[in-house]
Amino acid sequence: MRIKITFLIIFLSVSLAYGASEDKALYFEGIKSARSGNLDFAFMSFHMLLEGYPDSKFAPDTLFASAEYYFSIGDYKDARLALEKIVSEHADSKPHLFAFPYLLLMAQARNDAAAVRDIKKQVASSKQLVLLFRDSKEYTYHSALSKKYKAVYFIDHVDFYINGDLFAKIPF
Amino acid sequence: MICLRKYLFRIIIVLSVIFVLAYFATALFINKKFFPPSLKTEIEQYFSQNLPGKISIARITYSPFNRVILSQARFYDSGGGGSAPTLIIDKLKISFSLLRFLSAGELIVTDIKIEGAGADIFLCAAFLKENMGPLLAFLAKLTPPDDLAVNLEKINLSFSLPDGRVLNASVLTRLRIRQRDVLVKGSLKIPNIFSAGSKAGHILKFKFKGALESNGVRIDDLEFKADKLFSRFWGFYENSTLQLNGFFELNDFLKRFSENKTGSNFPAGLFRRLGWRADKLALPQRQFNTDLEISDISWRMKFLAASLKIQSLDFFLNNVPIHIAGDVFFVPAVSMDLKFSSYQDQLKQARIRNYNAFDAAISGTLKDWGFYGKIASEFRRKGANKPSAEKAEIIFDNLNFKPLDKKVLEINFNGADLSYWAQDNFYNVFLDNFSSELDYGHEIKKPLIFDSGIYGGILSGRGQIDTSGLPLKLRFDFRVKDAEANKLALVLEHFSKVHGKISSRLSYDNYDGSILKGGMIMRDGYLENFEFFKWLADFFAMPGLSRIEFGRLSGAFLVDDESAGMDIIDLDSSQISLDGYFRQLENGLVESRLSLGLSRPILEGSPKFRPLLSILGNDIESLVFDFQLSGLLSAMNFKWLESDFKQRLKARIPDFIERAIERNVEQAIFDIAH
């Protein structure tokens, strides 16, 4: 058994060293930078990934991480563009759901009532719930910038948390 | 001195006798020589040969020194002299130039006076239309119109109302033609159609000033004035085309204005158009709550053989620009095809954002005072979220208006097919034998009562139309009794699955957004393949839910700009019970809480519920599920709310079974929804 595990570890290491593609390398480099607190370097890696490999399987997570970065530095225009791209082009991705609380906050800040209504509708229709014995259903996501997201779906609203803190509440 | 006076008196007596004898001798001589009895026959024959209609004259007499009197002239249409005359003139007095007559033997007419005439206005119009050309040719032969006066006195025009009453209008007119200039002044006394027997009525004064041109008429000033009406036009008539420009006001401004003696006699509207300030002219301040103001009229229409072509009619109606074009046909019956639009000249993008912009059309035929045809309108309405392009259309079968006493107008139709398109929704309802009474004597709010047939039932109600501004403010309360619910499917889609007689009480107003609310009740009907129960039937394998017979189904509903739904639903059936509310919001989302009770026979028919019953025990007669719905109508979220039954069930099954059930149900719902 021990021999088998050792062989597997060696095989994976070789694969990582020689078989890993550049988009993957950039993605993990960004994650590494983010974990060490170098958000600017992390963003640069993600930006290079999106520029060079827009169709990469890491694109949705990378886009979301870029949006998080833009939002954190107050560049709401680019944050919105990145989040809207996730909503329109990556509907089946994990970060898709968590783009909405950011978009909602920005729409509210702009006093764009139509956008607020539209976002609430999209949130309400993004999951079809069946709550027979529970009161809510949770969805989680760990972003590339090392933030832990949680969406708690109730029958008439959703609570969004970032790192355990309530970030947005969207009724519908 | 006394003798002189006596002789002078005798001389005067003798001269007077000679004058009278000469007068009568001259009259007799001229009558015999120039106006023999055969002349009457000749004139009648002339008209018989030259006019489609006929004329008969009782007597022609000469009245010295320059007047001929035609007594009892009767004009008949082409149907012949056997029928009643379309126009009767008691006395037609024609004066001629004595000098020209004596010197050259020419009969040059200088003055025509018509005293006492009567005609049915419609028959007379038909007669004139048929005979106008030959009559003008005859008149032209008699008189080169270089200086002619025509007086009309004691002229009665009658017309019949749809209810058989005959109203009489009287006309007093003086026409003067000098060289090519034409001046017409007169008044028309219009009876009050609401009290045909009384002498009450309105006086309409009119004035025409213009000139005869080589191929038409120049219109310098055409004015109409009445108590609350003032209008003025100018333009020309040329080659069968009439071009008029002007304005029209119908309000109480003139009355208020006439009470203020410091101003001029012109209406303030005219001053405004000329750019003058009312305060400088000591005019009363203009109030813009007038009923009707039509300004900047530009009207161009062409008279064709059997139709009237309105090439363009542009005006401002209470400051809203309106454009009308189309055709009015007179043969074989009066019919029309007219198009209306507001803000027609506005750029397309600006017009889309303008909620006062609309397009409308009227096409149909008038038969026996009834309108058979279509009225349609397209417009954009300000929705809660975004503008909504909407369209309304009514196809009428015999729409007619009948004035009653006390300023009440009766509006009836045999049938009306009403359709309404709002975004992607289509609504349709058919009303039959509709009758209503509109009390428009009230200053601003006009009450209306109505009743009608609706799908085997009765629709009745009352309401009011507030005309203080545009769009009109409406408020109606109405009741529906025993209508066939299934046929209301195009009013509310869900009715396609509902069978039975429906009775309802509703209210509608558009004061602050449109709100339709009310309650409904149905007895002894059934629901067949109703979506929600069909879903339950498919999911839980309960075929008994495909058709649910009920003793009573009631609900309260509310439809406004933001939502539509049943606020209280109460279904009482031997198979199931249902109460709660269901609302569909304007953004397509659903809000609902429902309590559904399923009877034991229904539950036992389901292989999925049978095991549950065995867990819960044999004493259970029915199960009640309280649940909440949200999300999109096509993919609703579902929450089973807390209840005794749920608690008992939870107590009997382990957690991992709960999660498995939930996963299975979620997957099954997803499969059904997709």
Alpha carbons B413 and B53: distance in angstroms, whole number: 37
DSSP state of B495: G
Distance from CA of B381 to the nearest CA of A (A): 17
Query: Helix A96-110 crosses helix A76-89 at what angle (to 10 degrees)?
Result: 140
Closest listed residue to residue B504, CA positions, set B523, B539, B478, B467: B478
Alpha carbons B414 and B419: distance in angstroms, whole number: 17
Please report whether residue B213 resides in a domain. no
Examine the pLDDT at B318 and tell me if it is beyond 80. Answer: no
Please report whether residue B76 resides in a domain. no
Of A118, A120, A132, the CB nearest to B665: A132
Contact A133 B662 (CB under 8 A): yes
Closest listed residue to residue B147, CA positions, set B185, B107, B174, B177: B177
Please report whether residue B278 resides in a domain. no
**Using one digit for the tens of pLDDT, what is the confidence trace for B611-662?**
777 777 777 778 888 889 888 877 788 888 888 777 877 777 777 777 777 7
- Which B-chain residues 500-539 have CB contacts (< 8 A) with chain A? none
Q: What is the pLDDT of residue B269?
A: 41
- Given CB atoms, is A155 within the 8 Å cutoff of chain B? yes
Whole-complex ipTM: 0.77
Q: Residue B99, Cβ neighbours under 10 Å: how many?
A: 11
Q: Which domain holds residue B598?
A: 439-673
Compare all CA atoms of chain A with the CA of B668 and give the residue at the minimum distance: A130
Q: Provide the CA B5 distance to its chain's centre, in angstroms.
A: 78
Closest listed residue to residue B357, CA positions, set B370, B345, B341: B341
**Average of pLDDT values for B305-324?**
88
Examine the pLDDT at B373 and tell me if it is beyond 90. Answer: yes
Query: Helix A59-72 crosses helix A76-89 at what angle (to 10 degrees)?
Result: 160
- What are the residue ranges in chain A where pLDDT is below 50? 1, 7, 10-19
User: In this predicted model, which residue has the larger pLDDT, B105 or B116?
Assistant: B116
**Using one digit for the tens of pLDDT, what is the confidence trace for B538-547?**
777 777 788 8
Of A114, A124, A133, the CB nearest to B658: A133
Examine the pLDDT at B376 and tell me if it is beyond 90. Answer: yes
User: In this predicted model, which residue has the larger pLDDT, B94 or B462?
Assistant: B462
* Residue listed under structure tokens 């409406």: B474
CB B79 within 8 A of CB B123: no
- Which B-chain residues 595-634 have CB contacts (< 8 A) with chain A? 628, 630-632
Please report whether residue B461 resides in a domain. yes
Q: Residue B66, Cβ neighbours under 10 Å: how many?
A: 17
Q: What is the CATH number of the domain that holds A116?
A: 1.25.40.10
- Given CB atoms, is B635 within the 8 Å cutoff of chain A? yes
**Average of pLDDT values for B567-579?**
82
CB B107 within 8 A of CB B99: no
* Residue listed under structure tokens 């702009």: A110
Contact B631 A132 (CB under 8 A): no
Q: How confident is the model at residue B251 (pLDDT cuts 50, 70, 90)?
A: low
The mean predicted confidence, pLDDT, of chain B is 78
**Average of pLDDT values for B427-449?**
87
Examine the pLDDT at B536 and tell me if it is beyond 90. Answer: no
Which of these ranges, B73-82, B138-147, B198-207, has the smallest mean pLDDT? B138-147
Q: What is the pLDDT of residue B2?
A: 62
Q: Residue B546, Cβ neighbours under 10 Å: how many?
A: 15
- Which A-chain residues 21-40 have CB contacts (< 8 A) with chain B? none
User: In this predicted model, which residue has the larger pLDDT, B150 or B244?
Assistant: B244
DSSP state of B513: B
Closest listed residue to residue B110, CA positions, set B101, B119, B123: B101
Alpha carbons B449 and B605: distance in angstroms, whole number: 52
- Which B-chain residues 379-418 have CB contacts (< 8 A) with chain A? 385-386
* Residue listed under structure tokens 């109480």: B252
Contact B386 A114 (CB under 8 A): yes
Residues in B touching A156 (Cβ below 8 Å): 591, 628, 630
Q: Provide the CA B632 distance to its chain's centre, in angstroms.
A: 42
**Average of pLDDT values for B398-417?**
86
Distance from CA of A116 to the nearest CA of B (A): 11
Structure tokens at B326: 């189309």
- Given CB atoms, is B468 within the 8 Å cutoff of chain A? no
Q: What is the pLDDT of residue B258?
A: 37
Q: Which residues of B596-608 are buried (b: 16+ CB within 10 A; e: fewer)?
A: bbbbeebbebbee
Q: Residue B367, Cβ neighbours under 10 Å: how many?
A: 13
- Which B-chain residues 556-595 have CB contacts (< 8 A) with chain A? 587-589, 591
Alpha carbons B646 and B624: distance in angstroms, whole number: 9
User: In this predicted model, which residue has the larger pLDDT, A117 or B251?
Assistant: A117
Please report whether residue B465 resides in a domain. yes
- Which B-chain residues 325-384 have CB contacts (< 8 A) with chain A? none
Compare all CA atoms of chain B with the CA of A123 and give the residue at the minimum distance: B631
User: In this predicted model, which residue has the larger pLDDT, B286 or B513?
Assistant: B513
CB B280 within 8 A of CB B255: no
Examine the pLDDT at B273 and tell me if it is beyond 60. Answer: no
Q: What is the pLDDT of residue B198?
A: 52
Alpha carbons B561 and B270: distance in angstroms, whole number: 42
Contact B631 A172 (CB under 8 A): yes
Q: What is the pLDDT of residue B583?
A: 82
Cis peptide before A154 (omega within 30 of 0): no
**Using one digit for the tens of pLDDT, what is the confidence trace for B218-235?**
999 999 988 778 889 999
Q: In Å, how far are B396, B402, B434, B474 from B408, measured between CA atoms?
A: 21, 9, 16, 18
Alpha carbons A162 and B207: distance in angstroms, whole number: 83
Of A118, A125, A135, the CB nearest to B632: A125
Burial of residue B475 (CB within 10 Å: 0-12, 13-18, 19+) is middle
Structure tokens at B359: 């397009």
Return the residue in B630, B633, B638 with the most chain A beta carbons within 10 A, the one to mutate for interface testing. Answer: B630
DSSP state of B543: G
**Using one digit for the tens of pLDDT, what is the confidence trace for B470-501?**
667 889 999 999 999 988 888 777 788 889 99
Examine the pLDDT at B602 and tell me if it is beyond 70. Answer: yes
- What is the domain count for chain B? 2
**Average of pLDDT values for B35-57?**
72
Residues in B touching A136 (Cβ below 8 Å): none
Contact A124 B665 (CB under 8 A): no
- What is the domain count for chain A? 1
Residues in A touching B589 (Cβ below 8 Å): 121, 124-125, 172
Q: In Å, how far are B16, B150, B168 from B155, measured between CA atoms?
A: 37, 13, 10
Q: Residue B98, Cβ neighbours under 10 Å: how many?
A: 14
Q: What is the pLDDT of residue B276?
A: 36
CB A104 within 8 A of CB A151: no
Alpha helices in B191-301 (DSSP H): 253-259, 268-274
**Using one digit for the tens of pLDDT, what is the confidence trace for B189-248?**
877 665 545 556 778 899 999 988 877 789 999 999 887 788 899 999 888 889 999 988
User: In this predicted model, which residue has the larger pLDDT, B309 or B405?
Assistant: B309
Q: What is the pLDDT of residue B200?
A: 62
CB pairs under 8 A between A and B: 69
CB B236 within 8 A of CB B215: no
Residue A125 backbone class (left: φ over 0; alpha: ψ -120 to 50; beta: rest): alpha
Q: In Å, how far are B117, B159, B197 from B121, measured between CA atoms?
A: 12, 6, 18
Residue-by-residue DSSP string for B597-611:
EEEHHHHHT-TTTHH
Closest listed residue to residue B68, CA positions, set B88, B89, B92: B92
Per-residue H/E/C for B132-148: HHHHHHHHHHHCCCCEE
- Given CB atoms, is A128 within the 8 Å cutoff of chain B? yes
Coil, strand or helix at B9: helix
Residues in A touching B670 (Cβ below 8 Å): 128
Of B635, B636, B661, the CB nearest to A132: B661
Alpha carbons B668 and B619: distance in angstroms, whole number: 30
Q: What is the pLDDT of residue B134?
A: 67
Helix (H) or strand (E) holding A120, with range, is: helix A113-126
Q: What is the pLDDT of residue B661?
A: 73
Longest Cα–Cα distance of chain A, Å, equals: 63
Please report whether residue B600 resides in a domain. yes
What are the two backbone dihedrals, phi and then psi, of residue B345, each rounded to the nearest 5 degrees?
-85, -5
Closest listed residue to residue A50, CA positions, set A82, A78, A84, A80: A82
The contacts of residue B49 (CB under 8 Å, 6+ apart) are none
- Given CB atoms, is B639 within the 8 Å cutoff of chain A? yes
Distance from CA of A125 to the nearest CA of B (A): 6
What is the signed CA dihedral for A104, A108, A112, A115, rounded to 10 degrees?
A: 10
Contact B630 A125 (CB under 8 A): no
Residue B34 backbone class (left: φ over 0; alpha: ψ -120 to 50; beta: rest): alpha
Q: Which residues of B125-139 are buried (b: 16+ CB within 10 A; e: fewer)?
A: ebbeebbeebbeebe
Alpha carbons A150 and A165: distance in angstroms, whole number: 9
Q: In Å, how far are B42, B63, B664 from B74, measured between CA atoms?
A: 15, 21, 96
Helix (H) or strand (E) holding B428, with range, is: strand B425-439
Please report whether residue B626 resides in a domain. yes
Contact B639 A131 (CB under 8 A): yes
- Given CB atoms, is B662 within the 8 Å cutoff of chain A? yes
Return the residue in A119, A130, A137, A158 with the most chain B beta carbons within 10 A, the one to mutate for interface testing. Answer: A130
User: In this predicted model, which residue has the larger pLDDT, B394 or B514?
Assistant: B394
Please name the amino acid found at residue B455. Y
- Given CB atoms, is A138 within the 8 Å cutoff of chain B? no
Q: Which domain holds residue A63?
A: 2-171
Closest listed residue to residue B518, CA positions, set B548, B484, B488, B560: B560
Can you give the pTM of this predicted structure?
0.64
Contact B637 A131 (CB under 8 A): yes
Longest Cα–Cα distance of chain B, Å, equals: 153
Please report whether residue B655 resides in a domain. yes
